[in-house]
Structure 1
């Protein structure tokens, strides 16, 4: 087995976020639960965009945010995701490459356009995401770069992208490539709606031993097991994956690795501005800690530090120098 040249290659939705402030009444009038994520078609997305307040365009996408955060922590990363041959696609490609992430997926000609997520941020910093998946849901298996995946220590997959059939097949192929190359596979459950639609698939990945690292938040973990007892859910899933990482919002996070359990509190934040990307950056910090050979608790702490930075400003990509923040707090 050859030595890896990259730390992580991620596959996920290639999305440009449009972030705008909104009050609770506006969110309610849209008929969507505050703090949730819903999918919409292009016409509905255009309609909502026309009614939103002034927005900021910032490249996003869950797995893309994670590798951008990892790169900011000194990791060598790649990303595979589908954009269209349009302005937002060019914005996404520029931004991720500017973060020193390898991104060579060919653009897709024609319609639909590049994916966008219209994010409504309420005064309590909760983000309600309204996503048009556009071109991202047409990532073909042919776009999977075998050499790129085999070159990375870890393949990181985004649960959001499991929904459309074409990228789901692409990710299954990527898992086979990573496994054949002796690499680890990490998976994030992404959202309870993903679990409700694909619980059987996700449990099959876990039960088949195809996942080495699983990321979830507390609600996602409970949804996965269809239970209400957190400790019981943690024990049940931790028995099936080598490493389980669960974030719990203000209550911090917990990880279990081969029977070892570690917990950390949430990192203090002077003011929470926008919770978009908190889980993505937590995964970035944790994975960066693991590829650096840090202890389980220290990797969790790195995740908490990265998450705290991203919720202190608008957008799901870090603005402060994460590597310096970690050095100041962990050494």
Structure 2
């Protein structure tokens, strides 16, 4: 394997509070942890709970708990659910900058006895998206890291304004990161179209899980991203550059997994926090694994406690 790559150009962040802007989804999660198999046409017992969710919102929440300054940018409905979602994120010390229209998004997370989750989504508020108008220049003028959720990116029908804002942020020394979102969303959007979008945005880091990697691996040598981080569940996390593996780091076994919802968001948050603090890739991955482990021991995307320094 090659040695770790040089980091993208960062400001001197090690000795001050980090500032993150996270762009994407803010939804209500209804989590059903099954206590028995669910068969088509049948009924199963489950522990059903209600949570604030959404990938970018989850990452913003985690970063705020890690003592970073976190700003969430996205869209919610004009309904009572939207009010609750905004307040839930705001009460976690996250700056909330949202456009409001229609009704709020709801995701039903069905979790089997292994902790694996499947989603059923009503993305109503996303119907009003598409022009990237949620993100504005002032949202990135004072940030260190701009993270774009793949869920949100794949809902954008017009990206010229987004590209202009991202380029301005890059010129100002902001680290640009992207996660792929979901392999089903990638298929709907089109793998080639997603690769072209990455080429226009030129992020510094791309986060993928195994399913998303499987969708894009045939084009991995063409991924226009310096660092690609691929989480693979129980299998070692891998880091690629130019389609070539740089390193992989084992995942410690976890007993009594409850719900894997949001594990990837926890990983991204802790990884970025440590990486931007000057830690190397290996140490950043270790802290990402640690927060992901805390997330999967409870229902929903937020752990009961934080043990990341």
TM-score normalised per structure 2: 0.84
The reply on whether 1:192 has 2:192 as its aligned counterpart is: no
Counterpart of 2:257 (choices 250, 272, 276) is 272
Aligned to 1:97: 90
Post-superposition shift, 1:85?
1.8
Partners in 1 of 2:12 and 2:90 — Cα distance? 24
Q: Which runs of 5+ in 2 are unaligned?
A: 1-9
Partners in 1 of 2:127 and 2:63 — Cα distance? 24
Post-superposition shift, 1:225?
3.1
Q: Deviations over 1:141-167 (max 9, x none)?
A: 443231221211111111112333458
* Larger strand share, 1 or 2: 2
Post-superposition shift, 1:2?
9.6
1:200 match: secondary structure: helix
Cα distance change on mapping 1:237 and 1:312 into 2, 3 Å? farther
TM-score normalised per structure 1: 0.79
Partners in 2 of 1:169 and 1:155 — Cα distance? 17
Counterpart of 1:295 (choices 264, 267, 280) is 280
Aligned to 2:147: 156
1:12 match: secondary structure: strand
How many aligned positions are there? 294
The reply on whether 1:26 has 2:38 as its aligned counterpart is: yes
Counterpart of 1:211 (choices 175, 188, 203) is 203
Post-superposition shift, 1:294?
0.9
Partners in 2 of 1:187 and 1:68 — Cα distance? 17
Counterpart of 1:83 (choices 72, 76, 80) is 76
Cα distance change on mapping 1:170 and 1:275 into 2, 3 Å? farther
Cα distance change on mapping 1:160 and 1:271 into 2, 3 Å? same
Asked whether the equivalents of residues 204 and 225 of structure 2 are also in contact (C-alpha less than 8 Å), the reply is: yes
Moved more, 207-216 or 19-28: 19-28
Aligned to 2:118: 128
Q: Deviations over 1:103-129 (max 9, x none)?
A: 122433xx3x10010111111211111
Post-superposition shift, 1:208?
4.5
Q: Which runs of 5+ in 1 are unaligned?
A: 31-50, 228-232
Asked whether the equivalents of residues 25 and 57 of structure 2 are also in contact (C-alpha less than 8 Å), the reply is: yes
Cα distance change on mapping 1:297 and 1:201 into 2, 3 Å? same
Partners in 1 of 2:156 and 2:36 — Cα distance? 34
The reply on whether 1:317 has 2:302 as its aligned counterpart is: yes
Post-superposition shift, 1:176?
3.5
Aligned to 1:251: 235
Q: RMSD over aligned Cα, in angstroms?
A: 3.0
Cα distance change on mapping 1:69 and 1:223 into 2, 3 Å? same
Post-superposition shift, 1:101?
1.2
Asked whether the equivalents of residues 249 and 282 of structure 2 are also in contact (C-alpha less than 8 Å), the reply is: yes
